[in-house]
Structure 1
């Protein structure tokens, strides 16, 4: 027993003598030239150690290094890449004999890191990870000893009593993007750190990125795997706040119950704050898993609830809930959304999609909904008096003209140049511009600044609409092309819903082929070109009763009072056809045809798309007998349509009526002469009265 004790005492004495000899005869400052030389050799940079390197003995043997800096190449805004005021490192001696590296408390104080990217793309990190340069500066026998050294290193075990980073800072500057990130008061602590042992880590940081200031802090427990390749986490909690003068994140929180490679983790998060005219309170949860190969992140059961309020919304308050399942392939930078459900105040949309991160991101999607009311999401129109009507009442035509001035503001569609999109949309019931549309199907794409609706189809008021469209934003003014076909659509409820207009009824078949430059209302009205072919069957024109106009005209010619009837002001027809040609702000036609059992109507004219004025001449011919119109059967009666789209005005053109109909003109002259005889008797033959009557007839018929 005494022999064993003597042996132990001898070993202890040997260690003490060895340490004493180490401290007495070895000055650590003599390593400065060696360290700086090796750093220069490997990196081409200067390592400057201004402070002393000294021994430390408590709690374990170690070294303390004073003020130290690792230089940047010339041409950068700061001289040092890394610098610190004081670094302490201690190592237990005896465990080294068992190939175990036990490091005591590691403390780094006042460290600062500066990273800069110049305008030409060069950074002060370039060359530090150049493996070829390192290999060229390595010793010639390193390659021969690689396998032996690897075997030795694999037997070593490393443990750290604690790591502490105190009052560190960093600055990351990018001259290409003109961004500067400054991180201040960085503090980090890590408890007893060794493989297969749970230890606690804490951090707090403050910083600023351009005008954005932020702060963050958090804590977690971690466990390093025996092979040092994986790490487990548990009880992770972090919170952050930020403000850039416009956007304020008052409080953002992130929680994680545990994290192990290949296993599900429960994540919770919450954030509240505000941007101009909008405040938000968002919270959610999900299950997350990272695959064993560290390449695939799987998200399951994601639920995000957003409570929104502010004038930026179509409603004063909104509640939007998103549920989703997704995966992300890190190598391919590809996100796949297998399930997406959105509920925005009762408007529900579901679907799937993908997102490929690239210089021009690529998006694919398929969305569907049972019911969407677009109108309910648009800003409410202010209830103001109709300025045009008010102006008209007082005779102010200039004010009325202003009321018709369309907007000249072009929508900003520049984002279409920076994304590729392809997808499908299906909606069972859709309300847009107050019109009810059903069974909507849309196939759309965006590529190289061209947005295309490849196929559009829907049911519309007992009929169907199909079409295609495209918008190209690669020029100063965006250009567009639209083709569609409307088949057997009931036009009265459509016009009533869209334009509050109830002047035309019937079954509409319309084919449109239109194009133009500019998407503002003013540019559309001025620049649209193309044609619209219209065929309306079994219809009615409301607001005018053409047979009544003809009967009243005949009564006036005979000197009789207008017929007072209770007949509704409408004109029925069996078919209405025309081709509208659009260009230079005008829509014109020269083949307007309306056929009915009583009348045959043809016409030509135009309407101004800018001020909505109408100038249309309609020729009406009675083609059937009876109804008090036998005397003018076969005679073409001209009717002028003026006014505007909201208030068209109809007027019988008496001059053209008689000018083009000799028989009717003769009958009218006889009726006028008969009236003069009744009025003046024998004096009607007086030359003065005859001359006056002739002048009246010339003014009427010419």
Structure 2
């Protein structure tokens, strides 16, 4: 901040002293205009620039010595375009008469009208004002020997300290900034500046306004600044008090075509000798967003270090997005994102940012912790965050529970990670921990959640635990390697003593099984999308359900139907109000190949039966293709004898999908040579016209799917029905 001020003040001082030469000459001459050649020659000799005085020089002598000039032009530096460095349409300078008797110069007022500065940086990075701010430019106001030149404006500073300016006024000034080094040009116009008496080491009130516009853009910035400004004679210590800066950006691409931001600072100070600065009472406001802070820093150079405390008052992110013409996402909760507040202690360098004591209030959630970023060019991120309660579902798009695919926390996390562009994952360098006391996501209520992330050089690993997962626990970890063309995935998961019914009720709105679940899985896959990863999954899993029931499936009813068929009796009227099959345990292990689960050792134990099963489950389309073989328990096990089962099993085919399974009795499996005689006996009893009519009517009333099943039984039942008809 000090260096630009030093440059600007030095340039202004040079312009002031150019006019001072005019005043010094005019004070003792009858016709100052006759000395224009001597004045321009002196400027040429001192700074090697051409000064052109086009208008007349007018004088006044009492009570102040005043001089008024017309248009003045100062040529550009050598090597730059022929456009003038500066032009001035009109100037007026008044010098107090009495201080001159004490060899002091006191300017009671300066008015510069129509000043135009053409500032340029060439492709080599050289500025067209460098020759004006080099140490030897002080010779314009003092006879300095070459040996004294390296004192870095010592003479200029001494001369500046010998006079005071009563007031400085710029009217309708303009600055044209052309940067050939970067190709960016800026125009500052309508620049108006007023100050009160300018004296070193004393506060100076400043009122500044201008309009800024960059080339090739349709935006303008209107800037207004009021402050009290203090600078020392050495131009190396600056202080500001009660500063107010307002910037209004306007243009077609600006949200609502106009956006205003306001910065206020109670006190600010910067010192080159001590290499420090401090800002207190800082407030930045734009719309409903208000930021307050206190900042300080050391080493005001490329090794600068900054510290501060920042707080952001509560505001509505939804309203802010609307103010900035940002589309608000559709969320399940229309009241979400209506409150956000934040505070933190910050420390920063040009290469790093560290936030400590971070507190975030997001709607009803409280998040605390710390985070840091090192090396902005290739960011290395660390974080340690803790939240009390977080409802993620509030911020997600609406979704029907019944259409949500059943998945585990780690697989859900995998789907989320797979949506991140591969190039982003390759560059990701992050390590951190997140703990959440109470988390709601995908309609699941989780407590004591911990998440750890480590990502570097294209290898992303996570470890997540849920200590209270529906009366049980969950632990899992994920590894995603994106260093090659196709990402490689590895998943390990474990569920312990989880109550399945409330979990499914929350997740899908309907439970298809109850009981306590223990399960483990190890999976590997590869692909660029979630679908590709699911289709390529390989690995194994094992599970154990205990003391529960299968909802919507009444195994006893199916068995009773089989018995009735064999006995030739009407099955009992079904009570569908409580369709379920209680069980002691369901266990099994499965191998997974390319997204297809193969299981050959399913075991179901209930009070009356023991069932084994085998088949497949497709993770891609969630289709089931399973066969259950149910053995009726004849005698329970004793201390000396194992339990015994009836000779003829009941076979149940399981189909449908994960969310909507179907269960059908395999009637054909019941028709064996042993049962054939019994069925024939039943048929003989049905050989009456009345019973034949009943059978025909029953066949006509069969559902289409039952008729199809009957066709598959035709080879076994054909002869029996021939005997009947």
Q: TM-score per shorter chain, which class?
A: 0.7 to 0.9
Alignment correspondent of 2:477: 468
Q: Describe the superposition over 1:468-523 as per-residue Cα deviations: whole angstroms up to 9, x where unpaired.
A: 22456677776644332222211221122112341122222222333445675544
CA drift at 1:632: 6.8
**Which residue in the other structure is 2:339 paired with?**
320
Q: Tell me the residue number matched to 2:290.
A: 283
Partner of 1:637: 650
Distance 1:90 1:482, change over 3 A: farther
Q: How many residues align?
A: 621
Q: Could you tell me which residue of structure 2 aligns to residue 368 of structure 1? A: 386
Cα–Cα, structure 1 residues 54 and 413, in superposed 2: closer, same or farther, change >3 Å? Answer: farther
- What is the match of residue 561 of structure 1? 570
Q: Could you say what secondary structure the match of 2:674 adopts?
A: helix
Tell me which moved more, 439-448 or 194-203.
439-448
1:599 aligns with 2:600: no
Q: Does 1:20 align with 2:28?
A: yes
Shift, 1:581, TM fit: 4.3
Which residue pairs with 2:433 in the alignment?
424
Matched, 1:267 2:278: no
Gaps of 5+ in 2: 1-22, 271-276, 404-414, 637-642, 689-712, 721-725
Other-structure match for 2:555? 546
TM-score by length of 1: 0.73
Cα distance between partner residues in 2 of 1:81 and 1:575: 94
Mapped partners of 1:29, 1:441: distance in 2: 83
CA gap 1:193/1:527 in 2 versus in 1, 3 angstroms:
farther
Q: 1:465 to 1:89 in 2, by over 3 A?
A: farther
Farther off after superposition, 21-30 or 260-269: 21-30
1:35–1:465 distance in 2 versus 1, CA, 3 Å: farther
Asked if residue 611 in structure 1 is aligned to residue 621 in structure 2, the reply is yes
Residue 33 to residue 165, structure 1, CA distance change in 2 (3 Å):
same
Give deviations 1:599-639, integer Å, cap 9, x for gaps.
Answer: 3333332233343322222223334438xxx9971444332
* d(CA) in 1 for partners of 2:536, 2:79: 59
Q: Choose the corresponding residue for 1:650, options 659, 663, 666.
A: 663
1:84 aligns with 2:87: yes
What is the correspondence of 1:257-406 to structure 2 with a 5 Å cutoff? Answer: 257-260=266-269, 265-272=280-287, 281-286=288-293, 288-291=294-297, 297-300=306-309, 302-307=311-316, 308-309=318-319, 312=328, 314=331, 315-316=333-334, 318-329=337-348, 331=349, 333-356=351-374, 358-381=376-399
Task: Select which of 191, 205, 215 maps to 1:200.
Answer: 205
Q: CA deviation at 1:106?
A: 5.9
Quote the residue 2:703 is aligned against: none
State whether residues 201 and 220 of structure 1, in contact with CA within 8 Å, keep that contact through their aligned partners in structure 2: yes
Q: Are 1:247 and 2:260 matched, yes or no?
A: no
Partner of 1:625: 635
Show the 5 A alignment for 1:406-445: 410=419, 420-445=429-454
Q: Please report the TM-score for the alignment, with normalisation by the length of structure 2.
A: 0.71
- Shift of the alpha carbon at 1:374? 1.2
1:162 corresponds to: 167
Correspondent of 1:225 among 232, 235, 240 = 232
The answer as to 2:584 corresponding to 1:574 is yes
Q: Which residue of 2 aligns with 1:276?
A: none
Please tell me whether the aligned partners of residues 291 and 310 of structure 2 are also in contact (alpha carbons under 8 angstroms): no
Equivalent-residue separation in structure 2 for 1:603 and 1:85 (angstroms): 97
How many angstroms apart in 1 are the aligned matches of 2:644 and 2:589?
33
Displacement of 1:339 after TM fit?
2.1
- Deviations along 1:213-269, whole A, 9 cap, x unmatched? 332212111222354322222222222322443524543322223334677622334
| Structure-2 residue corresponding to 1:391 | none
Q: CA deviation at 1:271?
A: 1.6
- How many Å separate the matches in 2 of 1:72 and 1:453? 63
> What is the SS of the residue equivalent to 1:504?
coil
Look up the SS of the partner of 1:70 in the other structure.
coil
Aligned to 2:245: 238
Aligned to 1:666: 673
> Compared with structure 1, are the counterparts of its residues 149 and 38 closer, same or farther at alpha carbon in structure 2 (3 Å cutoff)?
closer
CA contact (8 A) 1:574 1:597 kept: yes
Residue 190 of structure 2: aligned partner: 185
Q: Which residue of 1 aligns with 2:274?
A: none
Once residues 270 and 247 of structure 1 are traced to their aligned partners in structure 2, the CA distance between those partners, rounded to angstroms, is: 16
Q: Following the alignment from structure 2 to structure 1, what is the Cα–Cα distance between the partners of residues 532 and 176?
A: 49
The residue aligned with 1:400 is none
Q: Which residue of 1 aligns with 2:114?
A: 109
* Contact preservation (8 Å) 1:72, 1:81: no
Are the structure 2 counterparts of residues 114 and 144 from structure 1 closer, same or farther at C-alpha, using a change threshold of 3 Å? closer
